[in-house]
Structure 1
Amino acid sequence: MTDEITQTRPVGALVHALSILRYLSARGRPEGVSVIARATGVNGSTCFNLLRTLVAEGLLVFDERDKTYRPGLGLVELAVGVLGANPADMIRPELERLSLQHSALMCLWHITGDDRIVLIERAYDPAATRVDLPMGKRLPAYSGGVGRALAAHRGLTRDALRAPFAALRWQLPPSFDSYADSVAEAARLGYAVDLGELYIGVDVVGSIVTDAHGTARYGVSSITLAGQIDATARHAIGEDIATTCRRIGGALFATPGPGAAVRQT
């Protein structure tokens, strides 16, 4: 009796889509639709439609400026259960997308057990005038944009904020009331803003990545020179970062089983 699997003809669209994904993953650099179509042997219009679908599903990222495609975070979500890759390596494509889309330095921060945030990865738009931060930069957990978002996520009351706020160091210190108000705003928006307070002349927008238990694990922030973007652009960056952080958390961290407690730290 012939095995049922051997009788089933492969689905052409799926075979083509996998060819595209394998090609771009092996290529290691973004490519345009015509190059991808030639390399994979997929008809041009079919290739274009498949690429659009793969982008919509998060498996590929489309660069609007260069009209190119590259692997996206959705591939990580599919593979994370069988791979022990460095999270920073897996998150980097999203940092690159954010940096190019918003012309900003994008930073990935690891939130440590001793209430520090440490810069572990970054990406930037080569065409943009920018500031820079060294890898390994350490900051107190509640400072800047990521710090405010972390305080908001942990649900710290105004009274609970007073002690950590007193220990923070700023180049242009905000008042406590202003800081506490910005934490409350971060809880409402899902992202936080620091306008030249941590570092004079530098604006920061940040949000956090949580695991399946609600524990904050990473922070993502945009860093621009003061005056480079207006409030509308900051809001767009903040929403994009917050959405991206949620997607990263879903991709990297498995959902807890039934009955698992959700906690915040």
Structure 2
Amino acid sequence: MTGPVRSVSQAFAILRLLGGAGASTLSDIGRGVGLSPSSCLNLLKTLVAEGAIEREGTTKRYRLTRPWQAAEALRDHAGARLVERAGLPMEAFAQATEAAVGLWKIVSRDRMQLAVRAESDAGMRLSLADGQRQPLGSGAAGRAIAAIQRATDAEMARRFAPVRWQSALSFETYARQVADAAVRGYAIDQGFTHRGVWTVAAGVPGVAPGYCLSASIVAGSRSEAEIAALGTALIALRDELAVPAG
């Protein structure tokens, strides 16, 4: 038995992404579905020719055509399901690790927003504010998202530029940390975004418009080995949430 045709699967991934994220640029789509710019452009041209998507003249963004906007199957509910089922596992994780845990969602090309939060009942604990937003490039979450999206150096630089780091951080170091995150599966921010706070984050693959889990602790409260264990546990939580409840 032959498997699925890769190009067809990629085309439907693009359609689902546009159904969930709305009008998007070529680079945003390519990162979202894991395609090179040239491969993505070829698929986009085909989808335009078939009348499934259209290109906005002024913004040069791609969007579903009106008939395809009405297709319920292309309304990507994966993100909504992820948010719905994240609460209890995140609470259990926060209690077990005594960390402030967040599920972040990309809400624009420049910002992410906290969608779900959980914290332990430890006497000394960190807390995240409901619905808070932060620049897309900031924190461990920004590094983890860039890693899982395989962002180019130019895109990383664009995201990095507006971030106000509380501790000095060069772009070269930032880019190296993103590369490290791509290898091990989680990113680390040790007080660069917020002094006194260390954060570990793992991107959630395959869910538009982009999600990331983070776990924040008091700086210096864990050893290097314990930080690595927290990152590994966060990946396990991400994988648990990625499997729909039966």
Into which bin does the TM-score normalised by the smaller protein fall? 0.5 to 0.7
C-alpha deviations, 1:70-95, integer Å up to 9, x for none?
xxxxxxxxxxxxxx976434111111
Partner of 1:230: 223
Partner of 2:244: 251
Partner of 1:96: 91
DSSP-derived class of the 2:189 partner: strand
Q: 1:89 to 1:159 in 2, by over 3 A?
A: closer
Partner of 1:257: none
DSSP-derived class of the 2:130 partner: coil
Partner of 1:14: none
- Tell me the distance in 1 between the aligned counterparts of 2:157 and 2:109: 18
Q: 1:128 to 1:218 in 2, by over 3 A?
A: farther
- Tell me the distance in 1 between the aligned counterparts of 2:166 and 2:134: 13
Partner of 2:23: none
Query: Which of 196, 203, 207 pairs up with 2:198?
Result: 203
Partner of 2:111: 116
Q: How many residues align?
A: 169
Q: Residue type of the partner of 1:165?
A: F
Partner of 1:263: none
Query: Which of 214, 223, 226 pairs up with 1:221?
Result: 214
Query: Which of 139, 146, 151 pairs up with 1:151?
Result: 146
- Tell me the distance in 2 between the aligned counterparts of 1:151 and 1:102: 25
**Preserved CA contact (<8 Å) 2:87 2:116:** yes
Query: Which of 189, 193, 196 pairs up with 2:188?
Result: 193
Q: How far did 1:185 drift? A: 0.4
Aligned-residue identity in percent:
32
RMSD: 2.4
Unaligned residue ranges in structure 1 (runs of 5+) = 1-83, 253-265
Larger radius of gyration: 1
Q: 1:166 to 1:217 in 2, by over 3 A?
A: closer
- Tell me the distance in 2 between the aligned counterparts of 1:86 and 1:246: 14
**Preserved CA contact (<8 Å) 2:94 2:100:** yes
Q: 1:110 to 1:157 in 2, by over 3 A?
A: closer
Partner of 1:49: none
DSSP-derived class of the 2:109 partner: coil
Listed as ranges, the matches of 1:69-84 within 5 Å are: none
Partner of 1:73: none
Q: Residue type of the partner of 1:108?
A: L
**Preserved CA contact (<8 Å) 1:105 1:122:** yes
Q: Which has the higher contact order (CA 8 A, sep 6+)?
A: 2
Partner of 1:172: 167
C-alpha deviations, 1:14-46, integer Å up to 9, x for none?
xxxxxxxxxxxxxxxxxxxxxxxxxxxxxxxxx
Q: 1:128 to 1:221 in 2, by over 3 A?
A: farther
- Tell me the distance in 2 between the aligned counterparts of 1:114 and 1:177: 22
Q: 1:118 to 1:234 in 2, by over 3 A?
A: same
- Tell me the distance in 1 between the aligned counterparts of 2:150 and 2:81: 29
Partner of 2:11: none
Q: 1:163 to 1:113 in 2, by over 3 A?
A: closer
**Preserved CA contact (<8 Å) 2:87 2:117:** yes
**Preserved CA contact (<8 Å) 2:135 2:159:** no
Q: How far did 1:236 drift? A: 0.7
Unaligned residue ranges in structure 2 (runs of 5+) = 1-78
DSSP-derived class of the 2:244 partner: helix
- Tell me the distance in 2 between the aligned counterparts of 1:133 and 1:85: 21
Partner of 1:32: none
